[in-house]
Structure 1
């Protein structure tokens, strides 16, 4: 199972609110059909298919440009574990059990 987190930062916007840009990126993820969860600092995704992951990242990144910005910084973290099926939820549950 592949877990990934992306953080997208539009640069050169007219104001300090970025929610319209992030909403466009998340809508692009809906179009790709990848499983995701948003947080206040990034978006988590999970899939078994690396091509789907990179398609989703590209779609989210490009969607921000369609909102009128000319520069976008996207940070990506990927955890590709192939020895066992562990979902994002499994990982959180494992930590909570240890607390």
Structure 2
């Protein structure tokens, strides 16, 4: 099973720049060993099950809640049975098709 979860999480009470707080979240994700991809608007993770993905989001919340009164989170989840490594293969499939179009 492949669970792709895209989420953004940040405190709303720390001013315009929250990179200091978000860097704590990314450090936690990196140290978890879960596959991830950081983007300018959020982070994608891939796990083998939904409980693991949601537990990671909960841990990210816990990191921010330590010194924040309000934390904002959005999530999008795509679950597909009998698939793995979609964080990489979905992007490769598009890039391969683009390459064929440009030839």
Q: State the TM-score bracket (shorter-chain normalisation).
A: 0.7 to 0.9
For normalisation by structure 1, the TM-score amounts to 0.86
Residues 41-77 of structure 1, C-alpha deviations (whole Å, 9 max, x = no match): 10110011222111101011121122x2200111011
> Is 1:65 equivalent to 2:65 in the alignment?
yes
Tell me the equivalent position of 1:24: 24
Tell me the equivalent position of 1:87: 86
> Relative to structure 1, is the Cα distance of residues 10 and 94 closer, same or farther in structure 2, using a 3 angstrom cutoff?
same
* Aligned-residue CA RMSD (Å): 1.5
Q: How does 1:1-40 map to 2 (within 5 A)?
A: 1-13=2-14, 15-40=15-40
Equivalent pairs, count: 97
SS of residue paired to 1:22: helix
Deviates more, 1:23-32 or 1:35-44: 23-32
Whole-Å separation in 2 of the counterparts to 1:38 and 1:72: 19
SS of residue paired to 1:55: helix
| Gaps in structure 2 of 5+ consecutive residues | 99-103
For normalisation by structure 2, the TM-score amounts to 0.83
Deviation at 1:91, TM superposition (A): 0.3
| Gaps in structure 1 of 5+ consecutive residues | none
Deviation at 1:85, TM superposition (A): 3.0
Whole-Å separation in 1 of the counterparts to 2:59 and 2:32: 8
